[in-house]
Structure 1
Amino acid sequence: MARVSLILPLSPGTLLTAEAIEKFRVCLEEAGHTVEVLGIADPRSPHFPLVAGSWWRSFVAPEPGLASASMAGLRRAKGDILVVLDHHRGYTLTDLSRVIEPLQTRDADLVVASRNASRGAEIRPGRVAVWAGLAARRVIGSTDPFSGLVALTRDLARSAEFEPLGSSFTLELLARAGGQRQDVAVSRGRRASRKRVELDDLRHLKRLGDHKFGNISRLIQFCVVGASGMVVDLSCYALFQWLFSRTNLAAMTAPVVGGSLALAVAGACSIALALIWNFSLNRRLTFSYARRGSLLHQFLGYVLSNALGVGLSFSLRLILPRQFSFFNRHRLAAALVGIVAATGISFSMARWFVFGRRPNDSVEPPLTDEESCDEVTLVGVAEIDGGGVERPQHVGPAHFSSFEPS
C-alpha cells in the first residue's frame, strides 16, 4: 500500500485534539497505509494549538493563511501520496479514503473531494451547485475549487511552483500544479462556518488570474482601473468646466488647438488627475509585481509612454465638438471617445515598457526535501477542568515519523 502524509493546516485559534488526529491515522492504517501526520500552525496564533505525538510532526508556516500552511506541509511531507485536509469542513473518514484511491490506481495525479459533483442517487448536489461546479471545472479543472480536502502525488507537488496566499489551498494547487485531475463526489455534510473574505483571498484570486490568463487578466484589470479613472476624469472635467467658465479663461482662445481656453484648461487638469489615479492603481493592482521598482522612474515612464494616448484623448475632446454638432452639444461624449481610443495605446505601453519586467523572486521554487520550516515546541491538551475548559500544557518537540523520503 501507499505511504501517506496527512497535512492539517490550522487557522489561528484552532484546537486540534489527539482524538481528532488519531481517528484519521487509524482510518488510513486500517486501509494498509503507512501514515504520518503534519500539523502546520498559522504564525498569527498566540500559541501553537497542537498536541504531541510520536508519529507526527508539527511546524509553523512562514506566512499566515491556510494556503501558506498547506504549501509548507507539502514541502516537508515524506509520503508518496500527500493529502491536505481542513478538518473543520466536516469531511468523513470515508471521504478521506476515497480521495486516495485514484492516486493508488494511478488514474489521477490530483484528486479533489467535491461537494458539487454528483454520484448516482447516493450524492446529488443542488441544481445551482451543479451549474456552478460545471463552470468552475471548465475554468480551473474542478467542480469544487474551494474544497477543503485534496490529495496529490509527491512528484506533482515537487514539480509545481507555488505562490500561496489567503485560505484557498485547493485553488492554489489547481492553478499551479498540472497532471491528471479527478473529482471525487463526497457527501455535503457539515459546511464550514461562513467567514469573512479577507484581502489576501482577493489578492490570491487576482494572482491566480494573472498566472492562468496572463495579459487577458491584466487587460481586464487595466480596463477596470481605466473605468474608475474615467469616472474621475469626467467628474473633474465637468466640475472644472463649471469653475473655469466663470473666469476670464472663458473669453480666451486656446493656442494650437483653438477653442475655449477654459475648456482646454479643464481638460488638462482632469486628464492629469485621472493619469495619477490610473498610475497609482495599476502599479498597486494590475502590475503589482512592479511595486519594488522606482516610483519616480515608473511614473515618468508612464507619463512619457502614454503621451500619445493622452494627446489623442486631449485632441479628440477639443476637435470633435468643433467638427460635429452632436459632440458640440455633448462634450462629455467627445471626452469618452478620447478615453476609449487611448486605452489600447496606454495598456500596450504600460505592460511592455513601464511595467514590463517582472522580478523572479516572487515565485517560490519547486518543493524540495532540503527546504524546511522551523520545528516548534508544542502546546498539548491537558484534562478538562470543572468549567469544561481545556487547559493547555507545555510539551516537548514533536517526534518525526518512522519512514524516510525516497
Structure 2
Amino acid sequence: MTKENAIGVETTVNADVKHEILQLSEIYSLETEYFKKTVDLLSLEHYIEYVFGEENFEIITGGVGEEDRLIDIVTKLQIPEIVVTSFKKCVAELPRKMVGLKLCFGPADVFPTLYVDLLEPWYVAFSFFETLPEIRDSLPILKQRLEESKVCMSLAFSLDKLTNKLLVKTYYPCDRTKKTPHNPLMISLRLSDGLVYQQPKFYRSLSREEIVHVNEKLAHITDRSAEIFSRKYRSVCGYNFENNEVKNLKIYVLRKDSRFNAWVPRNDSIYTTEGNILLRLKRFDDAIHSYTNAIDYYEKDFTAYTNRALCYALIGKHDLAVEDAWNAKALEPNMNFKQSDAYFNFIKDISRISKQLNSAPTAQLYNELGILLFSRGLFLEAKKNFELALKLDSGFAEAYNNLGGACINLGLFSEAFDYCGKAISLDDRTDTTNYIIALNGMGRTKV
C-alpha cells in the first residue's frame, strides 16, 4: 500500500470513528454544538477509548508523541494551568511515553484529565512527585498504601473539584496472590494537597450479568452501544468497592490502539507488562512474581510463561525454567512451533550447561553459556560468564573476543578494544571484526 493510499484509508477510518462517536452521544442526548466542536478538535489517528457512565460519556484520545497536540487542545479548552504545567513537566522528564486526554460530556461536573503511561518502577514516579509541591507531601502516605507494589503503570493529571487544586491519580496492578472478594486487575489512588484519598478505584472485567446486577441503566447503555459498534472490543470496568458492593461503575471500551493490531486477540495483561519492566531491570524474583500473577489472571499467557522461564533460568531454578518453557510450547499463539521449540531448547541448554557448571566448572562451559545468552541479547549476563571463563583460563583467546563482543553491545568500546586486542595477541587467527567495531566505537564516543 502506498503512503497516499494509507492516508486515504486512515482518513476514512477517522470519519467512521467520528460518526460512531456522534451516534454514541445520542444515547446521552449530547447533540450540542459544543460537543461536536470539541470532537472536531480531537486526534483520532492513534488511540481511542470510550468511557460509559450512568450519566456521562467520556472520550480518551492520544498516542505516543502526541503531547504537543494534546497540549494544544487543552489550551483551546482553557484547562487549568496547574494541570497542563504538571503534565508538561512529566513528559519533559519522561519522554517518548504514551499520552492521553480524557474529556467528559454530560451533566456531572468532571474536569478533563491528561494521562501518561509511565510503565516505570515506583522510584521513578516518587522522584517526579518530589518536583510537584502540590503532591510532594502525599508521598509518605502513598508509599504506605502501595505496600509491595513494584511498578507504576500510569499517571493522570486533573483538578480536584472539591478544592480546585491539582489532582494526580496513580495506577498499578493489584497483587493477585492476596485474594480479595472482588479480585481486581488494577488499582488507582488519588493524590491531592498532601493527602491520599481513602477510597481507591478498582478495575477489572465484568460480565454483562454482573453489570446488570450492579447498574441496570448502565447495562442498557452498553447494549445500545453494542448495536452501534461493528464488532466487539476489549473492555474493563472501573468502580469503587464499599461494604462488599460495586459502586460508581463505569465501562471503559478500548476502541483503537495503533500500537497493536486490533484485529488480533491479545491475551497478555498488565501483569505481563509489569513483569517485562522488571525483567528489563534484572529484578528477576520480582518479575517472576508478576508473571505468576499474569498466569493466575490468564492461564494461557504465552509471554508470561516464556519470560518466567527465562527468569527461572537466570536465577538457577532450572527445573522450573524447563517446565515453563515446555508449557509455553503448547500455548504459542501464532502456532509457530519452530520458534517456540527453539526457545524451549534455549532454556533447556541453559539448564544443562548450568548443571554441568555446578558439578564441574570449566572455562569452556562458561564460554558456551555466555554464547548462548549472547544469542538472545542478554549481553550483561553473557559478559559475566565470559569473565568467569577467563578467571579459569586467562589464555582463552575466544573468551576474550566474546567478552569484547558483549562489551560492544553494552557500549563499552574501550574495554572491548582491550579485550579484542588481547584475543588477537593470544591467537593471531582470531577474527578481527570485533576489534575493528570497538576501535570505530571509541572514535565515535570521543567525537
Do both share a fold (TM > 0.5)? Answer: no
Q: Which has more radius of gyration? A: 1
Structure with greater contact order relative to length (CA < 8 Å, sep ≥ 6): 1
TM-score (structure 2 length as normaliser): 0.21
